[in-house]
Amino acid sequence: MDIVLVFPPLGNHEHAHIGLPLLKAYLNKYGHSSSIIKDYNVEIMDKLIRDFMSGDTKTLFSKNSKNVSKNYTLAQEILRGRNQSDKLKTSWATDMIYKYMAVAGDCISTVGFDPISFKAVEEEFLNVNEEAENNPVYKYIREAIVPDIIEKKPSIVGFSLTYASQVLYTMSICRQVRKINPNIKFFFGGPIASIFWRAFMKSSAFAPYFDGIIREQGEVAVLKLCDYWIKKKGRMDEIPNLAYRDEEGIIKENPIGENCPMDDIPMPDFSDMPLELYAYPKLPFQMTRGCYWGRCAFCGHRGCNSKYMVANKKKVVDEIKALKEQHDIRMFHFADDAILPKYFVDVAKLITDEGLDIVYSVFLRTEKGFSKENCQILFKSGLRSVLFGIESANTRILNLMEKGMDTNTMKQVLRNFMEAGISNHLSCIIGFPTEEKHEAYETLQFLLDNKDIYHKAYITPFGLFSDMVDQTERFSIEKVDIYNPLRHDIDGYVAFEYSYNRNQGMSVEEYLEVLKEARKLIDSVPPGANYFSKSL
Ligand code: SF4
């Protein structure tokens, strides 16, 4: 095997991620057919949860879950649509798996390392005993993952890092494999590596155990990387998006290349993935890349990645149909940053005309184009759940963020979706730089006053990781340290942000207090968002 593409432990295992299946399909199209995807995360999650249900932590599982584990399998069957009469129970089944994930998260929190900062991960990496018998994660790495990689004899192992909680275990895998076979090259991609690549490259703890980082989109860069290491074609300094150390140990940063056109990207290849093991029987799919708006200040999708590209609509529908048939799955998540209403409604009409019989969720902006009529078209095609980033209900903050939204439009659009039978999920940010307490409470009040137009709301703290770092004056921040990622909100998503000082508005301590209160009043962190804090 030439290439092993790894989704490493520990992270959310709600459903398969889209990045590696797209990469595998693309590599195959351009002559690298000897690759395999290994989602070690879902394998270990499944094992840990089964052990919890039958072993020492059984009490924790049964005490918290009552009927959750019993109903979990039934919920999965319903979502698979294997029993047509169960179609109406979709919402019950979705909620059941949601609860199951929360219980599973509580159990995982008893064995996983909580990465409160990049430095803490480095320290743990330098001091940890990987031979410890009583840690099931290291035991699995030692006894299952490392031998599996060694046995495959790859030239390259590529890791997709989506959660901060994957960093420690990724580095441990690299160190253990390198000890046995020093010839295998390790490269990282995915949001955590792409955003915080400087911290990785500068880390003296990690440097001996990996060979580079692919920033932004992976397809073209990984193809050229494979051409270089496997076919001995080209040069390292010609590989777009790559950061690496040269022979003298100097950090090199190759320029970001052009994005791969959507219609050049083949259908994602899930054939290596153990789809039965994910919590939801759901496949991710992408019909667009980047964001057509691309202006929200806090968003990591700005810059190169924000170039908006759409796939041919017929290709989209043909691929969804093929995936449904190949994998006997009728539930999809469209993992697009945001989709323009007209294009989306056209795709929805095609889905209905083709009689695809799917249900799906998606991320959208509250655009006026989502009229009552269009929402009905979307429902008819199978849309059941939308996540809207509404972020704030305060006009000054919305403007400072450049969100391009107002609360009246938000309310009208949310009502259109709700009345069509689609479940709205809202995401709000507390603690945007300069935000005052009363402005944060305005958002909270908006959520309390409008409970009839959404199903669930998630409140996340502001995290600095976008190009706001280049506009410190505008956002009244200073002393940004891009080499020291950390987490302010240790109960929320396992995501890093840069450390910095705030000169105006609430302090970090103040907005975390408001956040705590808001979560009590309205919100729970989505299960699986953080496997290291108690959610029940
Ligand atoms: S709409 Fe969403 S994806 Fe687009 S820039 Fe704003 S936050 Fe980012």
> For ligand 1, is residue 337 a contact (CB within 6 Å)?
yes
Q: Which residue, 366, 364, 362, 361, is CA-closest to 413?
A: 366
Instruction: Give me ligand 1 centre to Cα 386, in Å.
Output: 14
**186 has pLDDT over 70:** yes
Pocket test for ligand 1, best of 288, 293, 307, 466 (most atoms within 8 A of CB): 293
Burial class (CB in 10 A: 0-12, 13-18, 19+), 270: buried
Q: Of all protein residues, whose CA lies closest to atom 6 belonging to ligand 1?
A: 296
Q: Of all protein residues, whose CA lies closest to atom 8 belonging to ligand 1?
A: 299
pLDDT digits (tens, 9 = 90+) for 239-297: 999 999 998 999 999 999 988 899 899 999 999 999 999 988 899 999 999 899 999 99
> For ligand 1, is residue 294 a contact (CB within 6 Å)?
yes
> For ligand 1, is residue 168 a contact (CB within 6 Å)?
no
> For ligand 1, is residue 429 a contact (CB within 6 Å)?
no
- The residue ranges of every structural domain in the chain are 3-46+117-253, 58-108, 280-521
pLDDT at 527 (0 to 100): 54
> For ligand 1, is residue 287 a contact (CB within 6 Å)?
no
pLDDT at 240 (0 to 100): 95
pLDDT at 536 (0 to 100): 38
Average pLDDT for residues 183-203, to the nearest whole number? 95
**84 has pLDDT over 60:** no
In percent, the amount of the chain with pLDDT more than 70 equals 92
- Interatomic CA distance for residues 282 and 16, integer angstroms: 8
Per-residue exposure over 454-482, b if at least 16 CB sit within 10 Å of its own CB, e if not: bbbbbbbbbbbbbebeeebeebebeeeeb
Instruction: Give me ligand 1 centre to Cα 389, in Å.
Output: 8
> For ligand 1, is residue 345 a contact (CB within 6 Å)?
no
Instruction: Give me ligand 1 centre to Cα 191, in Å.
Output: 15
User: Rounded to the nearest 5°, which phi and psi values hold at 59?
Assistant: -60, -45
Which CATH code is given to the segment(s) 280-521? 3.80.30.20
pLDDT at 86 (0 to 100): 52
Instruction: Give me ligand 1 centre to Cα 236, in Å.
Output: 33
Q: Of all protein residues, whose CA lies closest to atom 3 belonging to ligand 1?
A: 337
Mean pLDDT value across the chain: 90
> For ligand 1, is residue 389 a contact (CB within 6 Å)?
yes
- Interatomic CA distance for residues 416 and 410, integer angstroms: 10
> For ligand 1, is residue 378 a contact (CB within 6 Å)?
no
**38 has pLDDT over 90:** yes
Query: Which of the listed CATH numbers 3.30.70, 3.40.50, 2.30.30, 1.10.3470 matches domain 3-46+117-253?
Result: 3.40.50
Q: Of all protein residues, whose CA lies closest to atom 5 belonging to ligand 1?
A: 294
- Distances in Å between the alpha carbon of 279 and those of 96, 104, 124, 164, 343? 10, 10, 29, 21, 30
pLDDT digits (tens, 9 = 90+) for 341-394: 999 999 999 999 999 999 999 999 999 999 999 999 999 999 999 999 999 999
- Distances in Å between the alpha carbon of 293 and those of 252, 268, 301, 516? 32, 26, 10, 31
pLDDT digits (tens, 9 = 90+) for 301-344: 654 455 789 999 999 999 999 999 999 999 999 999 999 999 99
CB 497 within 8 A of CB 488: yes
Pocket test for ligand 1, best of 292, 295, 467 (most atoms within 8 A of CB): 295
Q: Which residue, 43, 38, 98, is CA-closest to 72?
A: 98
Bridge pairing between strands 383-391 and 331-334 = unpaired
Average pLDDT for residues 165-188, to the nearest whole number? 97
- Interatomic CA distance for residues 485 and 206, integer angstroms: 15
Atom of ligand 1 nearest to the CA of 391: 7
In percent, the amount of the chain with pLDDT more than 90 equals 72
**88 has pLDDT over 70:** no
Chain CA centroid to CA 280, Å: 15
